[in-house]
Structure 1
């Protein structure tokens, strides 16, 4: 036994030395490469992006490579006879390092709405610098432009819109504020009705229709995502800046940040790099490429507050790092740090599933995957684009697809969005609290995994279980439970008490949650029985998962006597879906 102890200690020392040596060459900050070391505050304003691999940022490359293969599989036909999307460009970055760029499939692939593939010579493959129609990610540019005006003292976020656009004050809208436009709580219906492109003859009448749109709900009473909010905000920006929205975005955002491939209505000399979107017959536009896909933005000349921006993954990476830096990049500040904080602060607490900052959506697992947390910010676009910024790990994930090429009817790509973002979360480490490894489980949707003890004898009928738990799940619908059984057939939940950042208060029967990113110390008094089997059961529902759950330092005692020590003797535990992991 003494020899075994010496060996374990020696291995631990060697591992620590190796980790320390590695940190000296690849880790610049204590939280780099760690999912269990959330960062606080912004990254240094001097942080600029550099190219590297996962190892350069202390990340495990395996989850990222698996996600690449998933994206590749979704560009290939499935049982439906067609792929989920024509092509994709993905980019992942952590702590200032671009750890992955991946392009797959076709930027131009189909000749018609039926999905007839073009001859190979006429197809255009995806490349890292392919230019995409961002669709609603354009709303972030509008939001930033508005907040820049607020920084300059030209716009008050709490002010009513009518202060800046008096003609807006019809149909009961006199109390709608700029903040409500930014947080989609104005009361507007989802879209203009009728559509701008089919209901009005020219751009002036379409602009007037936006300003004259009625409310569906009382201002501030409801969250309802609406393009009318950002269309209106775009007009406010133009009024206060004295120039068109596309020029404002260029002069105040893309030019200072060096985003040369970002803007509205791509020039003809860049058309060869633009990903195609839909083949449209109503309106009869044919294959849409190089013009904005959104019909209402198209009817306004391609420049609108809700859609119209085209960009590349590389340019968007600069914008993401600018947010992580608190509004500055490469010596150019576009927003004050306190303004960026407002973009990352939830103004919609009264609408729990619709967290929203001033411009950014927050904490949306349906596309943020395991990167989701109360401060994780992002946005998606109808054309198949996704942007996720995770300040707690100083990371971001970009997935740009042309999923509407050749038709919008081929289904949702939300699973791909989740997989891509989650790969970055899983690439970061959750280090064991005790010893060299911990039990880790990250099941797919609609699954159950268990970790069980052998039957444990009790002299007094009173056992106490203790363990460390790192819990990152979708929420209460994906619980971790400790259960006890005297016959191995019938199980009852064992009440738990957890302590640590984000831990539930009091006694609970399950553990769940995401965003706290900290280990909890958990204890439980097991119901009295002569012989008891314990099992940890983690169950997921059909939708969304977090990074997963880690258990460490599992121990069962009886009045101070050790009955089971899972750390010293992990073979005593029977796993179904759990594995020992050093990270």
Structure 2
């Protein structure tokens, strides 16, 4: 798809210094999108929960351009299985009357999409001048002796270039003190500077932010992001109304917890009490679309502002702060000219494209009733559908 520039919006844009447009439902044509491609996108997503070996038990799609939601649909089940049967390698289906239908309002365990909120909370402190982007982590939390000794910086945490390994088995530690001791002593496994995606980056960033502000992360996210944006469906757990995730048992999982619904799926986030820098948030497709619109509007939504345009630009410019930039493996043809987004292990994802002012939220229960090898082909296909739906806008035409 050739690049199609947005008119009057996009990165650092917005429709005015005091107010920016809120989301509204409309037709694909009103959004500047091809109706046939959008119909194909909806059709494709509705097949994801079908068949004897579906990609997911259920899914929710929300996509649009500018402030217009052009596609919103739900398919399959929020709760389908009672358990996973190892002998048959299949889920044990609940009776139909006991299952829970997926709806467009169903909350999902966001898994690693939580990292975006932690990153925004950090960039808010950078904007205020209370946190230096190239400051040493040890200057804020010196008791994290390994990070301090290796000179890890805030920027390296936000760009996954600290060298810290992907994960640390905190869920096996005997208590909170032991978990904290493991984090404090964890040294880089590779030279800082090279990209290595790691949950530990966001855990260190959480501790840094909590020390810097004197407030827990859930409060920072609520007061700095979700409350001003009116994201009332976004919070840390427990969320008993959420879509179910996994029948979590060893050996495929790292803990024996049984079928999970409304409790955080990630084992480390669970061990840390449900509020963690890398996982723990629950949200809906609509709330995540609000976040996408906020960033595409330069940090504003309605009369609220959570970041200034320059700092949104900093987050969304390669290599990105918290966000992944131009990743075709889950962004499809939207990748290539500055698209930003993130995925979560439970089946969640979002992509926003400042150049075309488009956004795509695809939330799915890919780990219900148990985790499988990651397959982002449906995410990439959905993003490609949206990219191909973009049509040029007449100069000056408002959405």
Structure 1 length-normalised TM: 0.63
Partner-residue secondary structure (3-state), 1:137: helix
The residue that corresponds to 2:117 in the other structure is 141
2:263 pairs with 1:291: yes
Distance, in Å, in 2 between the alignment partners of 1:158 and 1:44 is: 32
Where do 1:137-286 residues align within 5 Å? 137-170=113-146, 173-192=149-168, 195-198=169-172, 200-220=173-193, 222-267=194-239, 271-272=240-241, 274-282=242-250, 283-286=255-258
Partner-residue secondary structure (3-state), 1:277: strand
Which of residues 20, 28, 36 in structure 2 aligns to 1:54?
A: 28
What root-mean-square deviation, in Å, do the aligned CA atoms of Structure 1 and Structure 2 show? 1.7
1:102 Cα offset (Å): 0.9
The residue that corresponds to 1:107 in the other structure is 78
CA deviations 1:238-284 (Å, max 9, x no partner) are 111111111111111101111001011135xxx23x10000012322
The residue that corresponds to 1:86 in the other structure is 57
Distance, in Å, in 2 between the alignment partners of 1:358 and 1:37 is: 23
The residue that corresponds to 1:336 in the other structure is 308
Partner-residue secondary structure (3-state), 1:224: coil
After the TM superposition, list the runs of 4 or more consecutive aligned residues in structure 1 that deviate by more than 4 angstroms: 38-41
User: Conserved in 2, the CA contact under 8 Å of 1:130 and 1:312?
Assistant: yes
User: Conserved in 1, the CA contact under 8 Å of 2:137 and 2:148?
Assistant: no
CA deviations 1:48-87 (Å, max 9, x no partner) are 211112122232121222222222222112xxx4211100
1:219 Cα offset (Å): 1.6
User: Conserved in 1, the CA contact under 8 Å of 2:66 and 2:357?
Assistant: yes
- Structure number having the greater helix percentage: 2
User: Conserved in 1, the CA contact under 8 Å of 2:141 and 2:208?
Assistant: yes
Where do 1:363-374 residues align within 5 Å? 363-374=326-337
Pick 1 or 2: higher relative contact order, CA cutoff 8 A, min separation 6: 2
User: Conserved in 1, the CA contact under 8 Å of 2:238 and 2:264?
Assistant: no
2:357 pairs with 1:413: no
CA deviations 1:519-557 (Å, max 9, x no partner) are xxxxxxxxxxxxxxxxxxxxxxxxxxxxxxxxxxxxxxx
Partner-residue secondary structure (3-state), 1:90: strand
Q: Closer, same or farther in 2 for the Cα pair 1:421/1:103, shift >3 Å?
A: same
Partner-residue secondary structure (3-state), 2:231: coil
User: Conserved in 1, the CA contact under 8 Å of 2:136 and 2:151?
Assistant: yes
1:319 Cα offset (Å): 0.6
User: Conserved in 2, the CA contact under 8 Å of 1:95 and 1:395?
Assistant: yes
Partner-residue secondary structure (3-state), 2:314: helix
User: Conserved in 1, the CA contact under 8 Å of 2:342 and 2:349?
Assistant: yes
Distance, in Å, in 2 between the alignment partners of 1:52 and 1:171 is: 49
Distance, in Å, in 2 between the alignment partners of 1:62 and 1:324 is: 25
2:392 pairs with 1:424: no
Distance, in Å, in 1 between the alignment partners of 2:326 and 2:142 is: 35
Q: Closer, same or farther in 2 for the Cα pair 1:74/1:321, shift >3 Å?
A: same
Where do 1:297-312 residues align within 5 Å? 297-312=269-284
Distance, in Å, in 1 between the alignment partners of 2:312 and 2:164 is: 26
The residue that corresponds to 1:63 in the other structure is 37
The residue that corresponds to 2:88 in the other structure is none
Partner-residue secondary structure (3-state), 1:56: helix
1:396 Cα offset (Å): 0.4
Distance, in Å, in 1 between the alignment partners of 2:212 and 2:136 is: 14
Partner-residue secondary structure (3-state), 1:170: helix
Distance, in Å, in 2 between the alignment partners of 1:244 and 1:172 is: 22
Distance, in Å, in 2 between the alignment partners of 1:400 and 1:105 is: 12
Count matched residues. Answer: 377
CA deviations 1:298-333 (Å, max 9, x no partner) are 000001000001000011111111100111111111
The residue that corresponds to 1:558 in the other structure is none
Distance, in Å, in 1 between the alignment partners of 2:69 and 2:275 is: 31
User: Conserved in 2, the CA contact under 8 Å of 1:173 and 1:215?
Assistant: no
Which runs of 5 or more structure 2 residues have no equivalent in the other structure? 86-90, 394-399
2:10 pairs with 1:36: no
User: Conserved in 1, the CA contact under 8 Å of 2:64 and 2:360?
Assistant: yes
Q: Closer, same or farther in 2 for the Cα pair 1:51/1:105, shift >3 Å?
A: same
User: Conserved in 2, the CA contact under 8 Å of 1:89 and 1:127?
Assistant: yes
User: Conserved in 2, the CA contact under 8 Å of 1:384 and 1:413?
Assistant: no
